[in-house]
Structure 1
Amino acid sequence: MTLTELRYIVALAQEGNFSRAAERCAVSQPTLSVAIARLESELGLPLFERGKGFVAPSDVGARVIEQALVVLREADKVGQIALSGKDQLRGALRLGVIHTIGPYLLPQLIRALRTDAPEMPLMIEENMTANLAAMLQNGAVDVAIIALPFEVPGVLTRALYDEAFKVVVPQGHPWSARCEVPPEEVAGEGVLLLKAGNCFREQVLDACPHISSADTDLRQGHSIGTIRCMVASGLGVSVLPESALGHPYSNDMICVVPFAEPVPSRRVALAWRTGFVRPKAIDALVRAMAALDPAVYRPIA
């Protein structure tokens, strides 16, 4: 039994297809198939159920693959520990980020990070907060960019910046000529929200408690980009983070109106496991964040 064989069975279980699993592992399909068959022969039982156009782990195979993931994560730590003894800013960093931050922050962050850590490319996992919490704990990502609060056992956080929320209305809306809107005025079924399960939706509901959200798909969207388009189409108004409203995301079909004081906002932070062996990588991310536009990403003193 080898680590390579364990990587093959994990890839096959996750891809559900021999061809895709082989491509993912950068080997030929026969090479992968022979290696998996050799491992099954060594263990004395089939790890996968096979059929025409169908492959899935057997009951025992699922348990073997679960343990294989643990073994591969621990083996990866060996490389990370060795790397940390050489240069902590050399080698890929697995970075998780929530959907409502990633598209807007990452282009600037990567540019700033390239100066400080040019040999530390980011392997990016964009996902929901709950999934990133699990991925941090099981070692699937090294660091995550999330919104507070974020209380996960075995995980440390460091607050980075505060980001203001703003009201977005279609051009011609009665609010488009106003200088500011109090949070309590953002109410009624005309407010467009992200679908349930997204942490930004909950932050908006907390900031504007008078919102009475509709349960129909018409009043909800899967992404900030979709919400922005729905506002431009005249379907309602919304509350979005400031970073999603500047260039190149602004357009002449929507109008951005600031909130009156106290301005609703979210606090964004880095999160990482307590035993993470590359603390200098965390420091590099913090320095890169500090180089961002302070008018949008307001650094925490």
Structure 2
Amino acid sequence: MNITLRQLRYLMALMDEGHFGRAAEACSVSQPALSVQIRDLEANLGAKLVERHTREVRMTPMGREVARRARRILDEVAEIEQRARWDKGLAGQLALGLIPTVAPYLLPLALPRLRARNLRLDLGIREATTHHLLGELREGRLDAAVVALPAGEDDLVELPLFEDRFLLAASRARAEDLSAEHVRPEHIDPEQLLLLDEGHCLTDQALEVCSINRRSLRTDLRAASLSTLSRLVEGGFGMTLLPEISLWVETAAAPNLAVLRFAAPEPSRTIGLVRRRLSVDDGWFTDLGDTLRASAAEALERSGVERIAAMKHGMI
């Protein structure tokens, strides 16, 4: 019998995703390759682990038991790897994940700081949605991830970094018809609201802030990035909510984009750093959090949001 860690990781992905294609994507392998490894694992154990259906897979009782033990084994392996990598704080290798609505605005300021702390740091960056980042974090492929809190996972340690306020973005022509003192999220017309594609946590946050049902949104205009969304809004195709940390980049690239502050209390999200509870922390997690927090403070300062209140109609 020759059970491999790869087989156990693939089995965990299959249990989490419930679908061979999605599990293969989460593991960055082809679906046939993942399927072969699962079959080899079943052959090694002499037991059926999954029930294969047309659109989904279901774990057998034995499959669930093996997966439960596999998670424990992989957690221990990840801890061994981290003990070997980390030495006196932020050193060695660091695999960091960030959600797409934070990465382009935080990384340009954070990377020089991280390099300055340790020139020998072997840094790997992964930009993906929250769902994929948390999956890779559990599998040990990431050491930490920057996501919106709370992550809602008991096996993660959360470290808040900063509050990221939401602002209403529109073309300058459309913004002139709005009064900053009376702009409230719940007053936004769903037919005018443009959001990111499904899967982005910012989309769900915006819907909750504006008390909007997803079915009332326009489905013909969706974007994969805030940059594309900002260009659409600048062109007069609707309005959107932009996180404060993005403004220093997006407003510079879109001169005809106007940003309005909401009336108090302003809607916001908490951005934080998360790691696996079982991972070793000899100071690197706090060091990383301090570095990212300082970078976020600079990004928010560059966004110059405090200037908005002093300008006519709150536009920048």
- State the TM-score, normalizing by the size of structure 2: 0.69
> Structure 1's 126 and 274: CA in aligned 2 closer, same or farther, altered over 3 A?
same
Answering whether residue 173 of structure 2 is matched by residue 172 of structure 1, we say yes
Give 1:242 deviation, angstroms.
1.4
After TM superposition, give the deviation of residue 239 of structure 1 in Å. 0.7
Contact 1:162 1:267 in 2 (8 A): yes
Extract unaligned runs of 5+ from structure 2: 11-23, 45-66, 302-316
Equivalence map 1:137-152=2 (5 Å): 137-152=138-153
1:168 CA drift (Å): 0.6
Partner residue in 1 for 2:128: 127
After superposition, the C-alpha distances for 1:13-37 in whole angstroms (9 at most, x for unaligned) are 95449xxxxxxxxxxxxxxxxxxxx
Q: Kindly report which structure 2 residues correspond to 1:210-289, keeping only aligned pairs within 5 A, or say none.
A: 214-247=216-249, 249-250=251-252, 251-289=254-292
Match of 1:203 among 201, 205, 208: 205
Percent sequence identity is 27
Higher Cα Rg, which structure: 1
In structure 2, the partner of 1:100 is 101
> What's the CA shift for 1:199?
1.1
CA positional deviation for 1:139: 1.4
Give the deviation of 1:271 after TM superposition. 0.7
Question: 5+ unaligned residues in a row in structure 1: which ranges?
Answer: 18-47, 50-54
**Secondary structure class of the residue paired with 1:89:** coil
Map of 1:15-26 to 2, 5 A cutoff? 15-16=29-30
Q: Distance in 1 between matches of 2:214 and 2:120?
A: 48
**Could you say if the C-alpha distance between residues 56 and 256 of structure 1 is closer, same or farther in structure 2, counting changes exceeding 3 Å?**
same
Q: Secondary structure at the match of 2:194?
A: strand
Shift of 1:273: 1.1
2:197–2:203: 8 Å Cα contact kept in structure 1? yes
CA distance in 2, matches of 1:175, 1:213: 29
| 1:241 positional shift | 0.5
Structure whose residues are more often helix by fraction: 2
- In the TM superposition, residue 134 of structure 1 has moved relative to its aligned partner by 2.1
| Per-residue deviation, residues 101-124 of structure 1 (Å, max 9, x unmatched) | 111111111122222233323311
Equivalent residues, number = 260
Equivalents in 2 of 1:214, 1:146: separation in Å? 27
Rounded Cα–Cα distance in structure 2 between residues aligned with 1:281 and 1:123: 15
